[in-house]
């Protein structure tokens, strides 16, 4: 006999579990189906464990290099990598356990198994123990994405790794070739390099993080990685690999010529693809675009009206916080609330060293959208007292505004705590704030947050802690 629900959510990642909780809060009988682990990729093999490892590597670097500048010396700094991995695991388990408690506390039925649509009204849930049929008035697809494989580099997660395999490494590889200089590749490259791995990044574009972040921000991170010992090969394409002895030989093409790299492990991070080829979606007649994303309207409703789709499956940006926002939105839409996806910006963060965070438009995007006059300036962290006191002065806050209205169009931060600083910028853009709104808001001193106020002042042309030289359309600040 089928189990019947008001709402069934497929996928318990940051989009799915949030959607289920909000649906239950709104009084709907709700079930969530997950084939692998509560919290999805993000909590278990993605966002959370990777940030745990990045944090551990940051502590190591501070102890090895920065502390002595403050007069604090450590003798014999050692890394017990197995303990580091256990700590990383404990962080993920704690977060996933929290999700389980939230689902239980909201009386949500949790079903572990593989979900497949039998028809638009029925799902089959197959676990190792049993097969069940589930029906619902509304379905929310939140089944996420997976790493893209490239020809000749099929994942075995032991030697040829996706991000999942990289996060499961039991010891630091002596050498590593990373194919793909996007945010995942650079985050993992950065922390493994700090733990002692010799890393080579192979990127097909002219720069790392190409098209992902502001080019000026990408340059700062690229320089820091190379200073750290990471080799970055640009305009390079991976062609093949083979095992030779205890290592792999990776053949790449760079400057039109073949070159062979040697490494103990290979990490492939060329992007992720939505899981739209799963769940039996093709039998439903759902509209799916050429990139594999399920087509939805502004309420995240698919071409089958009682089926909704959120998160990585519903299109770019493929970010956890965008999925969570959509999860709440769809639950409220189903409950009859007047909601639609109408955000001005989805902030993005790259947890490199230094961090990069962005909200709003890049300069190229603003020009493409027809803005003819832009006000642009930077405020460097080297001019911020708090950044100097924590020995993290690389980077800047960059602001882009409309020269006619002074409305803030984009903020791009590369530097310490960029991930935490960007929320103020996202709120400002969402509210339609002007440069004056940020510049005239008193920020506490001494803090990293002052850099946003000072960047706004610099963009207006009257920074206090910089000597500025007007440069026509763009005002560049110099310290």
Active site residues: 445
The CA–CA distances, whole Å, from 290 to 81, 131, 169, 271, 293 equal: 43, 33, 34, 16, 7
**For residue 332, what is the enclosing H or E element?**
helix 320-334
As given in the structure block, the two tokens for residue 53 are 């490892």
For the chain, what is the radius of gyration of the CA atoms? 24
Q: Are 47 and 320 in contact (CB under 8 A)?
A: yes
E strands in 184-339:
198-202, 231-233, 236-244, 247-254, 257-263, 265-268, 272-274, 307-309
Q: Which residues are CB-neighbours of 250 under 8 A, at least 6 positions away? A: 177, 179, 202, 238, 240, 241, 260, 261, 262, 263, 266
**Among 371, 278, 357, which Cα is nearest to 319's?**
357
**Among 396, 398, 326, which Cα is nearest to 361's?**
398
**Among 439, 440, 473, which Cα is nearest to 456's?**
439
**Among 210, 159, 208, 214, which Cα is nearest to 186's?**
208
């Amino acid at each position: 006999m089928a189990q019947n629900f008001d709402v069934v959510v497929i996928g318990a990642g940051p989009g799915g579990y949030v959607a289920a909780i909000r649906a239950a809060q709104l009084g709907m009988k709700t079930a969530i189906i997950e084939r692998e682990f509560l919290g999805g990729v993000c909590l278990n093999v993605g966002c959370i464990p990777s940030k745990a490892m990045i944090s551990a590597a940051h502590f190591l670097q501070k102890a090895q290099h920065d502390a002595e500048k403050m007069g604090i010396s450590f003798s014999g700094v050692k890394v017990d990598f197995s303990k580091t991995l256990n700590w990383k695991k404990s962080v993920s388990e704690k977060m996933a356990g929290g999700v389980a408690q939230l689902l239980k506390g909201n009386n949500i039925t949790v079903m572990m198994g593989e979900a497949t649509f039998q028809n638009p009204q029925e799902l089959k849930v197959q676990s190792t123990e049993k097969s069940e049929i589930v029906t619902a008035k509304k379905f929310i697809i939140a089944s996420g994405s997976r790493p893209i494989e490239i020809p000749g580099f099929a994942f075995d997660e032991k030697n040829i790794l996706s991000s999942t395999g990289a996060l499961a490494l039991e010891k630091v590889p002596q050498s590593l070739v990373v194919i793909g200089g996007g945010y995942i590749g650079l985050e993992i490259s950065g922390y493994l390099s700090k733990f002692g791995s010799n890393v080579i990044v192979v990127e097909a574009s002219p720069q790392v993080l190409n098209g992902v972040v502001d080019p000026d921000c990408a340059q700062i991170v690229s320089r820091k990685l190379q200073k750290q010992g990471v080799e970055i090969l640009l305009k390079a394409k991976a062609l093949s690999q083979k095992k030779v002895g205890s290592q792999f030989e990776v053949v790449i093409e760079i400057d039109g010529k073949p070159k062979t790299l040697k490494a103990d492990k290979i990490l492939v991070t060329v992007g992720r693809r939505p899981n739209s080829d799963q769940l039996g979606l093709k039998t439903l007649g759902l509209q799916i675009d050429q990139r594999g994303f399920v087509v939805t309207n502004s309420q995240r409703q698919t071409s089958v009206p009682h089926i909704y789709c959120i998160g990585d499956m519903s299109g770019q940006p493929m970010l956890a916080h965008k999925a969570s926002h959509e999860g709440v939105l769809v639950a409220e839409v189903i409950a009859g609330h007047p909601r639609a996806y109408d955000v001005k910006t989805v902030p993005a963060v790259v947890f490199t060293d230094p961090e990069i965070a962005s909200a709003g438009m890049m300069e190229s995007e603003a020009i493409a959208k027809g803005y003819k006059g832009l006000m642009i300036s930077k405020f460097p962290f080297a001019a911020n007292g708090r950044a100097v006191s924590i020995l993290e002065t690389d980077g800047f806050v960059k602001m882009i505004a409309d020269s006619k209205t002074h409305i803030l169009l984009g903020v791009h931060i590369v530097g310490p705590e960029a991930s935490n600083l960007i929320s103020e910028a996202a709120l400002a853009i969402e509210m339609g704030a002007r440069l004056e709104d940020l510049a005239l808001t008193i920020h506490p001193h001494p803090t990293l947050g002052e850099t946003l106020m000072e960047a706004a002042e610099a963009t207006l042309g009257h920074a206090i802690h910089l000597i500025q030289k007007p440069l026509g359309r763009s005002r560049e600040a110099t310290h």
